[in-house]
Structure 1
Amino acid sequence: MKRLWIAGASALLSMALGLGSAGAADKKVLAFVVNGASDFWKIAEAGVKKAQGELPDYNLQLKYPEQAAAAVQQRMLDDLVAAGAAGIMVSAVDPKNQTEHLNKIAGQTVLLTTDSDAPQSKRVAYIGSSNVELGKDAGKLMLKALPNGGKCVGFVGLLGADNARERIEGVKETIKGSKVELVDVRGDEIDQTRAKRNVEDALAAMPDVSCLVGFYSYNTPRIYEVLKEAGKLGKIKIIGFDEDPITLGGVKDGAIDGTVVQQPFEWGYQGMKLMAKVVQGDKSGVPANGIIIVPGKVIDKSNVDDFMAQMKQMLKK
């Protein structure tokens, strides 16, 4: 089912960007390689689509690996380089252990990172969130939701990815010295079935848990589903990341205390525009430290309606 979704998404994006035309074969390719199948990336696709409208001389592609595994992603990067891609922007599955391979890619094409940086690699720039700051925002939501303290369990896709590690670091830094504890974080390798089972297992193992935190976009919806099925919505606090429709609906109805969102639309749009300039030899848009932060925001019941309206308009474009 996962592969069908990926194929369908790629086909739709290709149609939307006009990549199926004969002329597209003559244009330089700029590719955006994500870390796994998730609806989160549909927002980035909308940004790529907008960039395509402003970069008619390029063929923009958004690629999903068949599996959220470093080896699979690396083969995809190798294939893009072999096919002559002029530039690649990637959310690395395992940045630390992929550095050597990313350096090889950077030696053959323009390489940018997004979402989860690979700071030790030779990438030209990182464009995305400060995941530590996002984690701090989540930590503040946890403190607000649990004024008397409590045990929390986190759930994430890729425990080794920088975005996961830094979000957890930000949470821990914020709740340090309080009565709120993050006692465990469970990874699922971006496997939806495993993500849901992790929540079920945590509830069974820790009946006194007070708060569940979804660190990746799909983790919070799985938390919501499990608590709903168990009749525990409203009894256990939920803190989320990103703007999945289930998450936003839960914030709206009060079952989820809040979610920390990013701006993947801007990653797709600004990232592709920057990559095109670098390909042309213009690095004026790259800061000295190579880091471009697109700020996130906290969504709670007070602003969720306005945010949902903005999202609806954005995805129409």
Structure 2
Amino acid sequence: MKRRSLLAMPAALGLGAALTTRAQAQEKRTLAFVVNVSADFWTICRRGIDKANREHTDFNMEMIVPGQASAAEQRRIVDELLARKVAGIAISPINPANSTEMLNRVASQAVLFTSDSDAPNSNRAVYIGTDNVAAGREAGKQMKRALPNGGKAMLFVGTMDADNARERVQGIREELQGGNINIVDIRTDESDIARAQRNVEDTLARYADINLLVGLWAYNTPQIYQAVKGAGREGKVKIVGFDEDGLTLRGVAEGVIESTVVQQPFEFGYQSMVGMVKYLNNDRGFIPANKQIIIPTRIIDKSNVSEFQGQMRDLLRGR
């Protein structure tokens, strides 16, 4: 009997250790980052979240990509997260103007940050991301560089319901004011990538005199690039884009795309998670008076695209 008890002891100790480990894991608080659409842009953001989690192993940190890019899908995800009693949510709201009630519900039960697209009328603690009006002005400068003699331009974006889309267009219009570049229209696709490419193909077919196509969201510029190449209009139709999708960078390297305004999604993820940890630990000193932490943009063109592509490859591989 004594021998049997001694033999059972390691198993009992092992079970006890396993239960302790499981209990510790269950005690970890969860922080979630809810994005707006599936794109490499958010894969880079995820690397920032991973880094933050390595530094704060007492938290579970996760990214959630909606099955479809809609405010309703984001609301469903948020409801599930609140039911799980997560400690904090960072979100890129698809339609912030019509999501205030949902966002305020989050803020009443957890820490709420916005990123990429703001919701200033909500009770979010802070926005971490790009100054999208300023980014729009940078895109406007690139448009003027692409068409020094002026011409006709078409803009493409997922939806004009998102603050980042409206603000980028505002910045572009401000930069182009009084100049000789005319924006013919803004085509939206509701984050449907097939529709995004059809929008470009339709524009190329209907407007023989179009000079410039501008993609405002990460997936728009690759669709423009493919449609322009498919139509054999490289060099005849200029392209200016946003973000650092692999096809966008290839187009810049080839000279088919003039330039792209890139953000720093790695910092969106990293600073959102680290910021929520601080907030939960009652450190609010990092939040500015205007409740906006602005991450600067960069212009990528043929002069620096090769180096930037290497940096992106490393980030996407998790190096």
Whole-angstrom CA distance in 2 between matches of 1:74 and 1:303: 40
Question: What one-letter code is carried by the residue in structure 2 that aligns with 1:165?
Answer: R
Aligned pair 1:151/2:156, yes or no? no
**Structure-2-length-normalised TM-score:** 0.91
User: Which runs of no fewer than 5 residues in structure 2 stay unpaired?
Assistant: 1-20
SS in 2 for 1:79: helix
Which position in structure 1 is the counterpart of 2:4?
Answer: none
Which position in structure 1 is the counterpart of 2:5?
Answer: none
CA deviations over 1:215-246 (Å, ceiling 9, x no partner)? 01111110011111111111100000000111
Structure (1 or 2) with the larger CA radius of gyration: 2
Query: 1:55 Cα shift?
Result: 0.7
SS in 2 for 1:203: helix
Which position in structure 1 is the counterpart of 2:108?
Answer: 107
Which position in structure 2 is the counterpart of 1:214?
Answer: 215
SS in 2 for 1:107: helix
Query: 1:75 Cα shift?
Result: 1.4
Which position in structure 1 is the counterpart of 2:50?
Answer: 49
Which position in structure 1 is the counterpart of 2:269?
Answer: 268
Question: What one-letter code is carried by the residue in structure 2 that aligns with 1:294?
Answer: I
Aligned pair 1:297/2:291, yes or no? no
User: Which runs of no fewer than 5 residues in structure 1 stay unpaired?
Assistant: 1-20
Question: What one-letter code is carried by the residue in structure 1 that aligns with 2:163?
Answer: D
Which position in structure 1 is the counterpart of 2:60?
Answer: 59
Residues paired across the two proteins, number: 297
CA deviations over 1:46-82 (Å, ceiling 9, x no partner)? 1111111001000001001111111110111111011
Which position in structure 1 is the counterpart of 2:167?
Answer: 166
Which position in structure 1 is the counterpart of 2:196?
Answer: 195
Query: 1:26 Cα shift?
Result: 2.9
| Most deviating of 260-269 and 94-103 | 94-103
| Most deviating of 31-40 and 84-93 | 31-40
CA deviations over 1:16-56 (Å, ceiling 9, x no partner)? xxxxx955433100000001222211000111111110010
Compute the RMSD of aligned alpha carbons: 1.2
Whole-angstrom CA distance in 2 between matches of 1:200 and 1:232: 11
**Structure-1-length-normalised TM-score:** 0.91
Which position in structure 1 is the counterpart of 2:15?
Answer: none
Question: What one-letter code is carried by the residue in structure 2 that aligns with 1:138?
Answer: A
Query: 1:313 Cα shift?
Result: 2.6
Whole-angstrom CA distance in 2 between matches of 1:118 and 1:98: 8
SS in 1 for 2:40: coil
Query: 1:307 Cα shift?
Result: 1.3
Which position in structure 1 is the counterpart of 2:92?
Answer: 91
Query: 1:131 Cα shift?
Result: 0.5
| Most deviating of 73-82 and 88-97 | 73-82
Query: 1:310 Cα shift?
Result: 1.9
Q: Where do 1:216-235 residues align within 5 Å?
A: 216-235=217-236
Query: 1:172 Cα shift?
Result: 0.6
Which position in structure 1 is the counterpart of 2:120?
Answer: 119
CA deviations over 1:95-119 (Å, ceiling 9, x no partner)? 1111122111111110000000001
Which position in structure 1 is the counterpart of 2:27?
Answer: 26
Query: 1:314 Cα shift?
Result: 2.6
Q: Where do 1:1-40 residues align within 5 Å?
A: 22=22, 24-40=25-41
Question: What one-letter code is carried by the residue in structure 1 that aligns with 2:110?
Answer: T
Question: What one-letter code is carried by the residue in structure 2 that aligns with 1:107?
Answer: S
CA deviations over 1:108-153 (Å, ceiling 9, x no partner)? 1100000000011000000000011111111001101101111000
| Most deviating of 247-256 and 258-267 | 247-256
SS in 2 for 1:40: helix
> What percent identity do the matched residue pairs reach?
52
Which position in structure 2 is the counterpart of 1:12?
Answer: none
Question: What one-letter code is carried by the residue in structure 1 that aligns with 2:225?
Answer: Y
Which position in structure 2 is the counterpart of 1:18?
Answer: none
Query: 1:260 Cα shift?
Result: 0.1
Which position in structure 2 is the counterpart of 1:313?
Answer: 314
Question: What one-letter code is carried by the residue in structure 2 that aligns with 1:75?
Answer: R
Question: What one-letter code is carried by the residue in structure 1 that aligns with 2:93?
Answer: A
Question: What one-letter code is carried by the residue in structure 1 that aligns with 2:237?
Answer: I
| Most deviating of 196-205 and 210-219 | 196-205
Whole-angstrom CA distance in 1 between matches of 2:121 and 2:302: 39
